[in-house]
Amino acid sequence: MHLAVFGGTFDPPHNGHLALCLFARELLEVDRLIISVSNNPFKHNRESDDDHRMCMAELISSEINRTGSSCEVSRWELEKQQPSYTVELLRYLHACFPHDRLTLLVGEDSFREFSSWKEYETLFLLCDIVVFRRSSTVMSRLPCLTPDALHGRTAIRFIDFSCPVSSTEVRELAASGKTLSRVVPDSVHRYIIRHALYR
């Protein structure tokens, strides 16, 4: 079975996250997609609590499953109650699914910090890595990884993907009282309004 993992703080999840997951599921022929809600040590200023982020990730998962039941949300990283690292998540998933092929889905913004991730070299032993980058990005602007770091892998797979929306933009729109209808799914929009998030 092919298992893909997409992690993030999801504060909040938006249409870019949704589109990336749907695109990856079809293009990479993913059998199961796991959305992992994290306590990213690089992002200290989360504006909504863990329960809200988890609920909104569940809403994104439900949107994905409207076109085929293949997505689930993991709160394993949240339950650690401490900063979480991708390498630890991948080791955990390997233990849970020892016979599955694992693919890590990474957005371009996250990949720019890849060489600063904890034990990032080990990730090449645990999973395939697919980076979704903007088609306008020049490859030389992305991290350069040494042959030793690649552990025999000839390359990370890059897929052109452009959906210009960010969680920061969503929070700013919400704070200014503007509509979020073009940047988040309706279910997430209703949740943000109902709980008065990012005001």
The boundaries of the domain holding residue 89 are 2-164
87-140 confidence digits (pLDDT tens): 999 999 999 999 999 999 999 888 998 989 999 999 999 999 999 997 655 544
The helix or strand, by DSSP H or E, that contains position 61, with its residue range, turns out to be helix 50-65
Alpha-carbon radius of gyration of the chain: 16
154 — pLDDT class (breaks 50, 70, 90): very low
In this structure, what DSSP letter does residue 133 have? E
Residue 187 lies in a domain: no
pLDDT of the residue at 155: 62
User: Model-level pTM?
Assistant: 0.88
| Angstrom distance (rounded) from CA 141 to CA 84 | 27
Question: What's the total number of domains in the chain?
Answer: 1
Average pLDDT over residues 17-29: 96
Task: List the structure tokens of 109.
Answer: 């913004």
CATH code of 124's domain: 3.40.50.620
Residue 197 lies in a domain: no
